[in-house]
Every structure is written in C-alpha cells, then in structure tokens.
Amino acid sequence: MGNGVAPSTSVDREHRVPTSKRLFGVLYSLFVHLRLHYQLLFLSPLFIWGFMLAGGELSEQAIGGFITFHVFLYGGITAYNSYYDRDVGPIGGLRRPPPVNELLLPFSLGVQGIGFVLALRVGWWFSALYAVVVLLSVAYSHPRLRWKAKAVLSLLVVALGQGAVGFVGGWLCGAPSPPSLLGLDPLLGLAVASLSAVGLYPLTQIYQIDEDRARGDLTFAVVFGPDASFKFALACIALASAAMLPLILRLFGGLDAGLLAVVYAVLLLVVERWRRRFRSDVERNFVTLHRLQLALSVGTLGYMTTRMALY
C-alpha cells in the first residue's frame, strides 16, 4: 500500500494479450515464408533422384544433408526472396502469402547461416555447393542484380540452383568418397533434374504476370506470354523424358521404363490440355499448377522410395 506501485488490473492484462498475439503473429509469418511444405514436397524429388542414382543408403549424413538443403538452404533463400518481392497474390506454395515484416531479412539470413554450419558437417563439397546456391539466390533476388527480373537469367538460376544443385546435393550424400559426376549415368540424371526444374518454372509465373509486370520484373511469362511458357514447359518435359527413359531402361529394366514412358505421355497431355484451355484466372491457374506438382511429386517420391527399397 505505501510502495507507490499500482496493482495489476484487467485493463493491463488486456493490453498484454495483444502484444503476445502480435509477437506470435510475427513469428508465425516468418516461419510461413520459409514455405517448408513446398521445399520438402516439391523440391525433394530432385535431391532424392541424385541420391538414388548414386546408390546411396540411408545414413546420418544423408538425413543431415537432406534437412540442411530443404529446410535451411531452400527455406532461407525462399524467405530472402519474399522479403524483396513482397507479393500479395498467390506464389509458389502459398495462396495468401502473409505480409512481409522487416525482420524477415535478418531471419532469412540467419536460417541460411545455420544451414551453412550444418553443411560443413556433411562435407566440404556439400558446403561449397550450399554456398553457390546462396550466392545465386542473392543475384536472383537482390535489387542490385535482380536476375529474377530477367527472363533468361532467371531460367538459368532455377536450372542450376534447384535442378542441377538439388541433384548434385543428393549425389554427394549418396556417392562414395571422393564423389564423381563423370560418366553417362550422372550426366543424364543431371540433365533430367535441370530440365524438370526449369520446365515447370514459367508455369509458376503465369498467375503472377500482372504482379511481376507492375513490379518491373521481366520474367519469362511476362516477356513471352502464357502460350510460349506452356510450349517451353512441353519441350523441357519431352527432353527430360528423352534423357531419363534410356537411363531407367539400362539401370532398372523395361518394366520401369515402360511405366515412366506412360507417365511422361500423360504429363505431356495434361500440360497440353491446360495450354489449350488456358484462361487468365489467377486462382484457377494457381490451383491447377499445384495439383499437377503435387501429383508429380507424390508419384516420383513413391517410385523412387520403392525402387531404393528393392535394391
């Protein structure tokens, strides 16, 4: 009573609750911008494809490499890109991206930094690969360079940073030491991964054309339009199948090759049907692409898991 401190009231408590809620909201927003569901489901087949072709076996190094890549590397660089993009419409993996908080930049860099320390534990080659992707992500997203805003450069970054690097990361975790990518099988596998990653990339831009154009980003879809984006995707899918089928036939036999030939034929038909019926509807195109990616990822992961279990 004589200490001069007013007792806590319900009003004070009510003021404290919104503060904690705001803090939770900020933390949740930062986490969502990692888009981990996208990294773990849609990008992981490329890593596991390399791991499978290298004849890898499940190990602490393989699990550590997988988590380092898909949680810390891909999650971190995705959040880094979101900080500069500040999208309000649908983006890869998020129909309604949360608002960008200024903490997102240091958060994304911190996540990448933790991942690099973990990458060093996997190996020097692996950590060097990690660093290459980080540098590519800076060139892709930062306003000083902003390769994302350039049609051809953005394709090259995706082909290398997601396709080739994803495959090589898996290969390094599965190949005997010292790792070697010299040889027809790994080079064909690398081509499949790069073509698969870059082929669908312009289709992720077709529902972002208005937002990218308003921001001044001359993406492939903005420069060449939706129809050219579909034709580019079809060409890449066809080339990926031409590289994969002889490889699967030699390694696993005619049954596997025949199954994959059917899958590729269906995929080409589905994308061509979408091209013919394309309408400029952001929500519809977002859902269509993500359903297609989900079916491809689940099917690919299922096949590779089964195939590795039968080694």
pLDDT digits (tens, 9 = 90+) for 46-79: 999 999 999 888 888 899 999 999 999 999 999 9
pLDDT at position 128, please?
95
pLDDT at position 211, please?
86
pLDDT at position 36, please?
95
DSSP structure string for 235-281: HHHHHHHHHHHHHHHHHH-HHHHHHHHHHHHHHHHHHHHHHHT----
Nearest to 112 by CA among 46, 39, 171, 55: 39
Query: How far apart (Å, rounded) are the C-alpha atoms in residues 88 and 117?
Result: 33
Nearest to 199 by CA among 292, 91, 307: 292
pLDDT at position 89, please?
80
Burial class (CB in 10 A: 0-12, 13-18, 19+), 234: middle
Give the tokens for residue 277: 């019926």
pTM for the model = 0.88
Give the tokens for residue 244: 């994969």
DSSP secondary structure letter of residue 204: H
Q: How far is CA 229 from CA 25, 83, 88, in A?
A: 37, 26, 23
* pLDDT < 70: residue spans in the chain: 1-18, 178-179, 311
pLDDT at position 178, please?
59
pLDDT at position 23, please?
79
Query: How far apart (Å, rounded) are the C-alpha atoms in residues 13 and 9?
Result: 7
pLDDT at position 197, please?
94
